[in-house]
Amino acid sequence: MKKYTYTEKKDTRSGFGAGLHEAGKKNENVVALCADLVGSLKMDAFIKDFPERFTQVGIAEANMIGIAAGMTIGGKIPFTGTFANFSTGRVYDQIRQSVAYSNKNVKICASHAGLTLGEDGATHQILEDIGLMKMLPGMVVINPCDYNQTKAATLAIAEYEGPVYLRFGRPVIPVFTDPDQKFEIGKAWMVNEGTDVTIIATGHMVWKAIEAGEKLAELGIDAEIINIHTIKPLDDEAILKSVKKTGCVVTCEEHNKFGGLGESVARLLTTELPTPQEFVATNDTFGESGTPDQLMAKYGLDAVNIVEAVQKVIGRKK
C-alpha cells in the first residue's frame, strides 16, 4: 500500500474559494453569485478583488440560477454558490430548463454536501444531489476529495465549456493530493495499485478508502484504490481495466446508494463486465444532527465499513 501522509487538514470548500479566486485572476469573464452564504462558500477573496464581478442575490436560489444562466449570454462564466441542498433539489427545474437543456456555461458550486455538514441535521444534509445532477443530460458532476483537488477542479471547470455541478463540503480533512496537480475532468486518479479488490471512492470517502487500504494490507489484502472525482462523465476505461484485474469492487460515497456513484459503476459493470459489487453509502435514509464523525460512523461511512465491504465482496468472487 502506497503511503499517503498529510501535514495539514483543510475543508474542501476553502479549496473552492481559493480556486475561484485564482480563476477570477486568470479570466475576467469569471463571475460569482451567492445566495446569502458568502462566508460558508469561502468567496471572500474573490469578492474583495473583483467586487464588480460578484452578485449577491439574497436568499433566492431560483433567481440565482436563472440570473446565472442569463449572464452566460454575453460571455460570462458564472459560478453560483450555496449549500448543496439549495443548489440542487430546491432549484432542480431552474437548472433543468435554464441551464442544462439550454446548455449554458454555468458552474453550480455546492458546499456542505452530505452528512458531514453535521449539526444542522437532515434539512441541510443532502444525500441525493449526485443522483439529481447526473440524471440531467449534458451535466458534468464532480465531487473532489481534498482541498488541493477541489482547488484544481475549480480551475478546470472554469476552462470547460458547459454546465457543471461541483460538490464539496464543510469538514476539515487531510490534504493529501498534489498541490500542483493537473485536474482532468472525467479522468480517474489511481490512488493505489492492487490486485485483490477495486475500491472506487469519491469526495470525503477517498481518505477513508486510504485508511481502509492500510488496514486491508495488514490483513494481507492488496486493494487497488481509484479516486473517481468526476462521476459524470465516468471514466469507464479506468474502472473496467481495474475490475478486469481484481474481479470485485467496492464503491464509497457520502451519498445515498440510490442514484450515486455506486449505481453509475454498477450500470457500467452490468453491461460490460458483470462483477460482484458492494456499496458503502447511505441506505435510502435522511441524516440527522450530530458531529460529522458521529454521523459517518452511525451511517456506515467509515474505513471499518469499507474493510467489511471488501471482505464480503472478495468472498463473492467466483
67 contributes a contact to another protein by CB under 8 A: yes
Region binding another protein by CB under 8 A among candidate stretches 55-63, 192-200, 234-242, 267-275: 55-63
53 contributes a contact to another protein by CB under 8 A: yes
63 contributes a contact to another protein by CB under 8 A: yes
Nearer Cβ to another protein (55/181)? 55
Which of 12, 98, 198, 264: binder of another protein (CB under 8 A)? Answer: 98
Nearer Cβ to another protein (101/119)? 101
Region binding another protein by CB under 8 A among candidate stretches 40-48, 91-99, 165-173, 202-210: 91-99
DSSP string, the chain: ------S-EEEHHHHHHHHHHHHHHH-TTEEEEESS-HHHHT-HHHHHH-GGGEEE--S-HHHHHHHHHHHTTTT-EEEEEEEHHHHTGGGHHHIIIIIIITT---EEEEES-SGGG-TT-TTT--SSHHHHHHTSTT-EEE---SHHHHHHHHHHHHHS-S-EEEE--SSEEE--S-TTPPP-TT--EEEE--SSEEEEE-TTHHHHHHHHHHHHHHTT--EEEEE--EEES--HHHHHHHHHHHS-EEEEEEEESSSSHHHHHHHHHHHH----EEEEEE-S----SS-HHHHHHHTT-SHHHHHHHHHHHHHH--
Region binding another protein by CB under 8 A among candidate stretches 56-64, 174-182, 218-226, 249-257: 56-64
27 contributes a contact to another protein by CB under 8 A: no
Q: Please give the residues from 154 up to 213 whose contact with another protein meets the rule CB under 8 A.
A: none
Least gap, CB of 100 to another protein (angstroms): 9
60 contributes a contact to another protein by CB under 8 A: yes
Region binding another protein by CB under 8 A among candidate stretches 96-104, 158-166, 173-181, 230-238: 96-104
221 contributes a contact to another protein by CB under 8 A: no
Please report, as ranges, the residues that interact with another protein according to CB under 8 A. Answer: 31, 52-53, 55, 57-58, 60, 62-76, 78, 93-94, 96-98, 101-104
